[in-house]
Amino acid sequence: MIRSIIESELFLVTLTIGMFILSGALFRKTKLMLLHPVLLTAVAVIVFLSFADIEYVHYKESVKILDFALGLSVVALGYLMYEQVERLKSAALPVLCATIAGCVVGIAFVVGIAAMFGVERDIITSIAPKSVTVPIAIAISEPRGGIVAVTSVVVFCTGILGSICGAKLLSVSGVNDPMARGFALGAASHGIGTARAIELGAVEGAMSGLAMALTGFGTALLLPIVEKYLY
Amino acid sequence: MGNALSELVNGYVSGNIIGMLLLFGLLCTGVVKAETVKGCAKFLLGTMALFFVPFGVGIIDSYGVIMDNAVPIVVATIVSTFVVIVTVGWVFQLLNRTKR
C-alpha cells in the first residue's frame, strides 16, 4: 500500500516540487550560495530514492512532466527576448562575437583538458557539450557515442557551478555591464545560469536566454568538426 | 492564456529552441500578442531551475562511470566553465563599450 503510493508519479512529482519549494525558502533565509535550491533538491531526492529503493529509471519516467515543462520554459525564453528586443538590436556585434568566443573556448578547454588526462573517447564526447542546455547537449552527445547519463550530470553540475560562482567571478574580473554579465551566465551555464540571471534582472535574464540558445546552436555546429579533426 | 504557448508545443518535437525562436518571431511580428503569453511565460521562467532537478538525480545511474574518471571530469568542468564565463563576459563588454 505505502509502496504503491511512494512509487506513484503523483507522489514523486510532488516530492520533487515540494523539496524545491522548501530548499528555496531555506536558501532565501540563509543566503548561503552552497545551499543552491536545485542542488539541495537533487540531493534530497537522491537520499529519498536510495532509502525507498526506487530505481532512477522509474523516477525519471515518473517525473517526465518536468522534462516537458523544461521544454516549455525554454520556449518561454522567446518572450524574455522579445521584451528586450530593442537592446538586442543595438548589440548584434558583441552578441555574435561573444557567442563564437564562448563556443570555441568552451569546447577547446573541455576537450583539451580531458584529452590531457588521457580520458577515453566516449567520456570526452559525453562531456564536450557541457555548457549547453540539457535537451540540446543530449542531442549532440548521444549520436556520437556519448553516455547520456554522464552528459546530463555534467551539464547539471556546470549549471550549478556557473549559477553559484558566476556573478561573483564576473565582478572580480571587472565585467559590470549587465548585458555582458547575463550573456556570460547563459553561455557558460545554460538554463540554470539563466534562472540565476533572471533573478539578477530582466536585462540579464534576456541576454542569458539568448546566449543559451546561440551557444546551443554554435556548439551543435562546431562539435562534429572538432571531433573529426582534433581527437 | 496558455493557448498560444501550447500551440508552440508542436515546435517542441523538433527542439524547444526552435519553439523559443518561433515564439520570439511571432511576438515580434505581432501574430501573438505579448499579453497573451506574459503570465504563463513569467511563471515558467520563474520556476525553470526546478525542471533541471531530475538530471542532477541522474548521478545515481552514472555514478560508477563518473567516479572512474572523476578527476579529469571535475577539472575540465570547473576550469572550462570559469574560462567561458570570463571570456564571454570580457568579449561582450569590450565590444559593447567600444561601439558606444
How far apart (Å, rounded) are the C-alpha atoms in residues A193 and A84? 18
Tens digit of each residue's pLDDT (9 = 90 or more) over A105-151: 999 999 999 989 988 888 888 898 888 888 778 777 877 888 888 88
Specify the pLDDT at position B99. 53
8 Å CB contact of B60 and A154: no
Same domain as B61, residue B42:
no
Q: Among B28, B44, B53, whose Cβ lies nearest the Cβ of A42?
A: B53
Is the CB of residue B69 less than 8 Å away from at least one CB of chain A?
A: yes
The amino acid that residue A85 corresponds to is V
The amino acid that residue B74 corresponds to is V
8 Å CB contact of B58 and A56: yes
> Chain B partners of A196 at a C-beta cutoff of 8 Å?
49
Specify the pLDDT at position B61. 81
Query: Are the beta carbons of A156 and A127 closer than 8 angstroms?
Result: no
How far apart (Å, rounded) are the C-alpha atoms in residues A87 and A202? 11
Same domain as B42, residue B64:
no
Q: Among A49, A67, A109, whose Cβ lies nearest the Cβ of B60?
A: A49
Specify the pLDDT at position B1. 44
Residues 6+ apart with CB under 8 A from A43: none
Specify the pLDDT at position A227. 76
**DSSP per residue, B16-61:** HHHHHHHHHHHHHHTSS-HHHHHHHHHHHHHTGGGGGHHHHHTHHH
> Chain B partners of A109 at a C-beta cutoff of 8 Å?
76, 79-80, 83-84
Residue the block writes with cell 505581432: B30
Domain that holds residue B18: 1-46
Cell of A121: 573517447
B17: pLDDT confidence band, cut at 50, 70 and 90? low
Residues 6+ apart with CB under 8 A from A18: none
Q: Kindly tell me if the per-residue pLDDT of B14 is higher than 50.
A: no
B53: pLDDT confidence band, cut at 50, 70 and 90? confident
Is the CB of residue B54 less than 8 Å away from at least one CB of chain A?
A: yes
Closest residue in B to A159 (Cα) is B81
Same domain as B64, residue B38:
no
Q: Among B20, B21, B75, whose Cβ lies nearest the Cβ of A113?
A: B75
Same domain as B92, residue B62:
yes
Specify the pLDDT at position A34. 73
Query: Are the beta carbons of A92 and A98 closer than 8 angstroms?
Result: no
Tens digit of each residue's pLDDT (9 = 90 or more) over A149-204: 888 889 989 999 999 999 999 999 999 999 999 999 999 998 889 888 988 988 89
Specify the pLDDT at position A1. 73
How far apart (Å, rounded) are the C-alpha atoms in residues A55 and A34? 27
Is the CB of residue B17 less than 8 Å away from at least one CB of chain A?
A: yes
8 Å CB contact of A20 and B11: no
Same domain as B42, residue B10:
yes
Same domain as B42, residue B63:
no
Same domain as B39, residue B1:
yes
Is the CB of residue B13 less than 8 Å away from at least one CB of chain A?
A: no
Q: Kindly tell me if the per-residue pLDDT of A214 is higher than 50.
A: yes
Query: Are the beta carbons of A43 and B18 closer than 8 angstroms?
Result: no
> Chain B partners of A53 at a C-beta cutoff of 8 Å?
none
Summarize the confidence of residues A59-73 as an average pLDDT: 85
> Chain B partners of A49 at a C-beta cutoff of 8 Å?
57, 60
Closest CA to A91 of B16, B60, B93, B23: B93
More confident of the two residues A62 and A84: A62
> Chain A partners of B95 at a C-beta cutoff of 8 Å?
93-94, 97-98
- ipTM, two decimals, is 0.84
Same domain as B39, residue B20:
yes
How far apart (Å, rounded) are the C-alpha atoms in residues B80 and A158? 9
Smallest CA–CA separation between A92 and chain B, in Å? 9
Domain ranges across chain A: 2-62, 77-230
How far apart (Å, rounded) are the C-alpha atoms in residues A147 and A153? 10
Tens digit of each residue's pLDDT (9 = 90 or more) over B56-67: 888 888 888 888
Number of domains within chain B = 2
Closest CA to B22 of A81, A132, A204, A138: A81
**DSSP per residue, A60-105:** HHHTHHHHHHHHHHHHHHHHHHHHTHHHHHTTHHHHHHHHHHHHHH
Smallest CA–CA separation between A6 and chain B, in Å? 17
**This prediction's pTM:** 0.82
Same domain as B90, residue B67:
yes
